[in-house]
């Protein structure tokens, strides 16, 4: 049996690397396939897990469109499948890389395994294009690796056969365990910032570009002023994000604006934070393991487990709603021993399912 693992972004590497490492440990024939949809940030992550892709499509171009990414992956993935004679293709989550990789495998008669299947926001255009991507991937997948019971319920409601769905937990927790065993996060954080009293911020989603992001940042800034917290913000490379961040926080004395950091450094910042404000999906899954409350700066979330567990709040994108959510979440205590997204054994369950 030969499995192809497809990834092209930082979050995909984080969640696929544990499967790759476990497959090697179990002596399963695995082929790693990088699209480089996000070149620099993907490369950062590969170094963390000491991974060198067997194939690197290197598709990223300046101002690339979703259509160009999809087209390149469809064609190049087909060529790799034909050459390697893959039995399975695993894709993760909801990127254009994952969607195009899954469709290419489907076109070539190769079985598809969807890691992190069944997540739903309920709105096809929010988040965009992720909600559409994950629904399409689920349709063409032979096995649906649902991270939680809620994810399985979503799939059953949509009519997916029960025997196609396996609850595995989320591989991001596997990655966290790997990192915490290998690195001294407290020491690493102090090498980058000395500040102990801060809110960690990440914002990058396409649907928040423009006025929404401006309002979110203004709400965070107001909270910072009233509660005396600094803002630590590794700023995404996208120029549309950086422009707004500079306009709102560029002259603010309590804002510590960083260039994008590697995963280990990011986790060290997460571990040291008082509270988190983010529109990221991954951070919603990571923060509970560090006992951090997350203010989700979005109008929808496909990870209701965070809200249901009391470890986060859906804040919307208005200045006042973000500020109020930060105030409400500031003193909430999170039990870091009870991450609702997994126990660190997801990769093993996924691989056992296809052996």
How far apart CA 283 and CA 289 sit, in angstroms, is 10
- Percentage of the chain modeled with pLDDT above 90: 86
- Assess contact for 163 and 32: CB atoms under 8 A: no
Q: Are 313 and 108 in contact (CB under 8 A)?
A: no
Q: E-strand spans in 16-77?
A: 29-34, 55-56
| Active site annotation includes 94 | yes
CA distance 153 to 149: 6
Helices marked H in 62-148: 66-84, 96-107, 130-140
| pLDDT value of residue 137 | 98
Known catalytic residue at 116? yes
Of the residues 192, 206, 214, 242, only one is catalytic, namely 206
Q: What is the DSSP letter of 126?
A: B
What does pTM read for this prediction? 0.84
Span 27-48, pLDDT tens digits: 999 999 999 998 988 898 899 9
For the segment 181-196, what is each residue's pLDDT rounded down to a tens digit? 999 999 999 999 999 9
Q: What is the pLDDT of residue 40?
A: 85
Q: How confident is the model at residue 93 (pLDDT cuts 50, 70, 90)?
A: very high
pLDDT tier, 237 (very low <50, low <70, confident <90, very high otherwise): confident
Mean pLDDT over the full length of the chain: 95
Cis peptide bond upstream of 129, omega within 30: yes
In this prediction, residue 338 has a pLDDT band, given cuts at 50, 70 and 90, of confident
Q: Which of 12, 39, 114, 130 is catalytic?
A: 130
Question: Has 195 been annotated as catalytic?
Answer: no
Residue among 114, 236, 298, 303 flagged as catalytic:
236
Q: Which domains does the chain have, with CATH numbers?
A: 2-167 (3.40.50.2000), 181-329 (3.40.50.2000)
**Residues in Cβ contact with 176 at an 8 Å cutoff, skipping those fewer than 6 apart:** 267, 286, 289, 344
Is 130 a catalytic site residue? yes
Q: Which of 116, 118, 57 is nearest to 90 (CA)?
A: 116
Per the listing, tokens 């030969």 go with 2
């Amino acid at each position: 049996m030969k499995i192809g693992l497809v990834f092209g972004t930082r979050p995909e590497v984080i969640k696929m690397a544990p499967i790759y490492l476990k497959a090697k440990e179990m002596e399963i024939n695995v082929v790693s396939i990088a699209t480089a949809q996000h070149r620099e940030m993907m490369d950062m992550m590969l170094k963390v897990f000491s991974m060198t892709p067997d194939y690197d499509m290197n598709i990223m171009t300046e101002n690339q469109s979703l259509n160009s990414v999809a087209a390149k992956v469809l064609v190049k993935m087909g060529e790799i499948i034909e050459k390697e004679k893959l039995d399975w293709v695993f894709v993760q989550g909801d990127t254009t890389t994952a969607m195009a990789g899954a469709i290419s495998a489907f076109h070539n008669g190769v079985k598809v395994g969807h890691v992190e299947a069944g997540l739903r926001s309920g709105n096809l255009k929010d988040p965009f294009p992720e909600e559409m991507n994950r629904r399409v991937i689920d349709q063409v997948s032979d096995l649906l690796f649902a991270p939680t019971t809620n994810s399985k319920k979503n799939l059953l409601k949509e009519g997916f056969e029960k025997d196609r769905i396996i609850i595995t937990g989320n591989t991001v927790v596997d990655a966290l365990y790997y990192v915490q065993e290998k690195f001294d996060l407290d020491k690493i954080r102090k090498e980058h910032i000395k500040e102990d009293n801060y809110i960690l911020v990440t914002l990058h989603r396409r649907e928040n570009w423009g006025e929404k992001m401006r309002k979110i940042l203004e709400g965070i800034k107001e909270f910072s002023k009233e509660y005396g917290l600094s803002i630590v913000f590794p700023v995404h490379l996208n120029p549309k994000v950086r422009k707004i961040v500079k306009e709102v926080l560029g002259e603010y004395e309590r804002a510590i604006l960083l260039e994008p950091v590697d995963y280990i450094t990011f986790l060290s910042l997460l571990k040291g934070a008082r509270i988190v404000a983010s529109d990221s999906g991954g951070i919603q899954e990571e923060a509970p393991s560090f006992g951090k409350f997350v203010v989700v700066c979005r109008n929808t979330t496909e990870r209701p487990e965070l809200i249901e567990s009391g470890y986060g709040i859906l804040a919307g994108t208005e200045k006042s709603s973000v500020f109020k959510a930060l105030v409400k979440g500031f003193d909430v205590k999170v039990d870091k021993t009870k991450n609702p997204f997994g126990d660190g054994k997801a990769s093993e369950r996924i691989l056992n399912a296809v052996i």
